Structure formats: structure tokens, C-alpha cells
Amino acid sequence: MKKRVSLWSLVVLYAACIPGGCHPPSALTLPPSPCPSTRSGSANATLLFDHDTCKAALVQIIHAAGDGKEHAVSFGKDRHGNIIRSAVSNGAANTAPLPFVAHRFADLHNHPENKPPSSGDLYHLIDQATAYDSSYQKFILLPDGTAYALRITDPEAAKNFNTRYPRVAGITNTAKGVTYQPTFPRALVNELNRIKGWGEATEEAAIVFMLQKYRTGIALLKRDQDGQFRMLHTTLHTRKDGVQAYTVAPCP
């Protein structure tokens, strides 16, 4: 039985083919698995997410998210080293201002749609890590309860990525009054679309693949059923029909 291709997949594939012709992603060799070097970062993300201050903020974010928009909260530390948080900010459909808090080292926001962190989140993480703390963490909560964490694993690599592949400013839809988040440069956006089109990769597998391939120095972590954050990694293999496929899995 032939596998059906969704209309959305065809639209994404079509968009990825204009301009410049339509070609499947080229074969490549991914860097070695980063799993062994990220265990301490995963543990830190789990500890912060389970902290009472974060739990209280999480409840507020979930309640505020009922309006279908993004909301954000910042985490910092007082002069005694205790974790503190800001008030919750109210945003738009795909963005929310990051509230001020003293000695900020992490933040949390929701995505109204069930989608993993965006390229805008990646660039914003680099900005925060550069301005405040190289171990900065960014948490993203989805409506279905999925929780992600973004963290810097290699500050120098993140800085180099930011220089080699500078963000493209988000466009403004004046009719809807929405300004979209920054995106990857056009070439990377096209590649991401091809991965999801030709390779039928999920949003999650595709973004993790890009993090690995371009050595961004950024890790995407996902909270498992036991409440532990574990780094995700994508593997590339060739299916029987010759098409490259992308599989995402948590680090052991």
C-alpha cells in the first residue's frame, strides 16, 4: 500500500523548490554524538524545572496561555543567591517580551501551537547567553504538556554560528498586527524545508538535525515521562526506497 503524502507536505516541498530547482538534501556526515558531554546540562535543566519557583511560574504560564498567545517569565537570583522570578508578560500569537529580573539566567515561555523551539528561540538564546551567562537556559512549554529546554553547550561555537549565519529579521504582517520572529538565512530555511519535505522529518527531528550539522553549540533537551530532561539527537539513514530519513531520539 502506498503511503499518502499530506497536502501540507506537498506545500512545504513546493516552497522549498522555489527558486533554484527541486533537489533532495545531499548526503552528509553528522558530527559525533554529543550525548556524553551534555549529561550535566540535562541534570541542571531538570533541577531548575523542578524548583518551586519554576513550578509556580509554570502554573501561571499555563493559566495565561488560555488566551492562545505566548507568555514569558524570567528567572534570576537575589543577592543571597536565591532563585527569583519576574512577573509573567503577555505577548502575541508567536512572540512574548522577556520580562526584566535581576541576574537573569533562564526564562520560560509557551508556544500556543504544538511546535518545538524555533530558529528565533535559538538566536535569542545566543543573545541571552552572551549578555548574561554562557550557561543560560530557555524553557518552552507546549499545550500538550511537552516541555523543551535549550542550552548552550559550546559558547564559542554558538558565537561562530551567529556570525556565519546571521539571523534574518522577521517580517511584519500589518493586517494581523504581527511581527514574526527572526529566522535562519534563506539557504538554511530552504534546507530545513527540504528535510521536512523529501525526508518527511518531523519539526523536532529537523531542528535537531540543523543544530548538529551546523555545529551551533546549542542542545535541544526534552522532558521525558520520568520528569528528566534529556538531550535529543537526530540520526540519518537511507530507506529501502533510497530516500534519506531522519530519526530523532533522546540521549541515553
**Count of other CB atoms within 10 angstroms of residue 189:** 15
Average pLDDT over every residue of 74-99: 93
| Of 78, 135, 147, nearest in space to 110 by CA | 147
Residue 119 and residue 164: Cα distance in Å, rounded?
A: 15
Min mean pLDDT across 35-39, 185-189, 200-204 is at: 35-39
Instruction: Quote the mean pLDDT of the chain.
Output: 83
Instruction: Could you list the beta-strand ranges (E) of 142-211.
Output: 147-152, 172-173, 178-179
Average pLDDT over every residue of 101-122: 94
Grid cell of 2 as nine digits: 502506498
> Could you report the per-residue pLDDT of 51-82, keeping only the tens digit for each?
999 999 999 999 999 999 999 999 999 999 99
> Could you report the per-residue pLDDT of 119-177, keeping only the tens digit for each?
999 999 999 999 888 889 999 999 999 999 999 999 999 999 999 999 997 655 555 55
Q: Report which secondary-structure segment, H or E, holds 158.
A: helix 155-164
Q: Name residue 89's beta-bridge partners.
A: 72
CA distance from start to end of the chain: 35
- Residue 132's pLDDT is 87
Find out whether 62 and 139 touch, Cβ atoms under 8 Å: no
